[in-house]
Amino acid sequence: MNLPGDPTDGALERALDQALARTLIAPSLPANFRKQLQAAIARSPSVDHARLRAALEKEHAQQLAELESGYVRLRQRTLGTLIGSAFATGLVVMLALPWIKVHFGPNAVFAVPAIGAAVGLALSARSWWQRTGLSRLLP
Amino acid sequence: MQQDPPQDAGTRDQDIVELLRGGATEAAFERLIDRYESKVYRLCCSLLRDPDQAQDAAQESLVRVWKALAKYDQRASLSTWIYTITRNRCLTAIERRRDLDSLSDSEVQLQAEAAQAVGPEPEQDHLAMLRELVEALPERYRRVLTLFYYEERSVAEVALMLGQPEGTVKTNLHRARAALAEQLRALGLADPEFWLEKST
């Protein structure tokens, strides 16, 4: 770390470094420091570390439970189906759009979401029909 | 008083962390005190300039460390955590007596005298004068410079203690020395031989 300018700067810096090392000597700890610290700790309200640790662990468990309750858990197969369906829907819409435009004209903007909603409702109705076991009640 | 060799902050205190994990809080605190009481006191001396206030601040910081030890979650290294508590305690003390930079010249002089009492009595006038020049440096330079020599020229330790990047510490060190050299030139005392001869 040479100082700019004078060629004697390097020598001055080294000399200054030595002088500073002699001047700035680390202060030693007061003789009674440890005793006073122990007294201060004894005077302070007692800390039950075991109890504090247990309380913190409980708090941590609660936070973890709250965090986990916010997650939506999906099976890999379900997630794959969802993503695949989304892509398939996009593809179908892209392919069917010219036909829809021809048949529905300016109403095509409303027709596409309406068809999508109808297909979605039909699929979910079918799924719940099977899940709830209503299909087994029919002859 | 135990003096540990400088090590990476992440691994230096692994033994204390292991004790804490095992629930041996008191044993961990004993070891922590052995390792850090001097460093905490020196940090307080550097920040507060007053040995009595530094002693109080160091003790209060360590009491806080003791109280919060069970909450230590290892997100930061133990040394970083202890130094942060200490700095916060010192900043509170500084706020209480108003900002040091706004102190009057007489108060600065008094504090410089108090700081002299921290170390050994200077035997030569020129070293006393050098100390006064250091005390008159801008606060951020003075803190870095004093801690650098207190901590046996360890930039890494000073960076940890002050919570600053090492690059910032090096820059402030360089500027502090440059400012001192400039002052010595202005006083006609820039001859290296003067400092080498007189200080040996």
Do B192 and A14 meet the contact criterion of CB atoms below 8 Å apart? yes
Do B180 and B132 meet the contact criterion of CB atoms below 8 Å apart? no
Instruction: Indicate the angle between helix axes B155-162 and B78-96, nearest 10 degrees.
Output: 60
Q: Give the three-state DSSP class for B116.
A: helix
The better pLDDT of the pair B108, B61 is held by: B61
Is pLDDT above 70 for A94?
yes
- The string of pLDDT tens digits covering residues B118-131 is 444 444 678 888 99
Is pLDDT above 70 for B66?
yes
List the domain boundaries for chain A. 30-136
Do A33 and B44 meet the contact criterion of CB atoms below 8 Å apart? no
Is the Cβ of A11 closer than 8 Å to some Cβ of chain B? yes
Interface test with chain B among A49, A59, A64, by most B beta carbons within 10 Å: A49
CB B177 to CB A40 under 8 A?
no
Residues contacting A5, CB < 8 A, separation 6+: none
Instruction: Give the whole-angstrom CA distance, residue B192 versus residue A6.
Output: 12
The confidence band for B99, taking pLDDT boundaries of 50, 70 and 90, is low
Q: What is the pLDDT of residue B10?
A: 58
Do A61 and A73 meet the contact criterion of CB atoms below 8 Å apart? no
Instruction: Indicate the angle between helix axes B166-186 and B139-150, nearest 10 degrees.
Output: 100
Its pTM stands at: 0.63
- The string of pLDDT tens digits covering residues B121-165 is 444 678 888 999 999 999 999 999 999 999 999 999 999 999 999
- The string of pLDDT tens digits covering residues A32-50 is 999 999 998 888 776 666 7
ipTM rounded to 2 decimals:
0.75
Residue of B nearest to A32 (CA): B55
- The string of pLDDT tens digits covering residues B5-34 is 455 655 678 889 888 888 888 899 999 999
The confidence band for B200, taking pLDDT boundaries of 50, 70 and 90, is very low
First to last CA, chain A: 93
Is pLDDT above 60 for A86?
yes
Q: What is the pLDDT of residue B139?
A: 92
**A47 interaction partners in chain B (CB closer than 8 Å):** 66-67, 70
Q: Give the three-state DSSP class for B186.
A: helix
Residue of B nearest to A35 (CA): B59
Of B37, B184, B191, the CB nearest to A29: B37
CB A47 to CB B173 under 8 A?
no
Of A3, A24, A52, the CB nearest to B181: A3
Is the Cβ of A15 closer than 8 Å to some Cβ of chain B? yes
Instruction: Give the whole-angstrom CA distance, residue B6 versus residue A30.
Output: 23
Q: What is the pLDDT of residue B171?
A: 95
Cα–Cα nearest to A29, from B14, B35, B97, B143: B35
Is pLDDT above 80 for A15?
yes
The two structure tokens encoding residue A24: 């700035």
- The string of pLDDT tens digits covering residues B86-95 is 999 999 998 8
- The string of pLDDT tens digits covering residues B47-64 is 998 999 999 999 999 999
Q: What is the pLDDT of residue A135?
A: 72
The two structure tokens encoding residue A50: 């075991």
3-class secondary structure per residue, B72-89: CCCCCCHHHHHHHHHHHH
Is the Cβ of A91 closer than 8 Å to some Cβ of chain B? no
Cα–Cα nearest to B44, from B54, B56, B33: B54
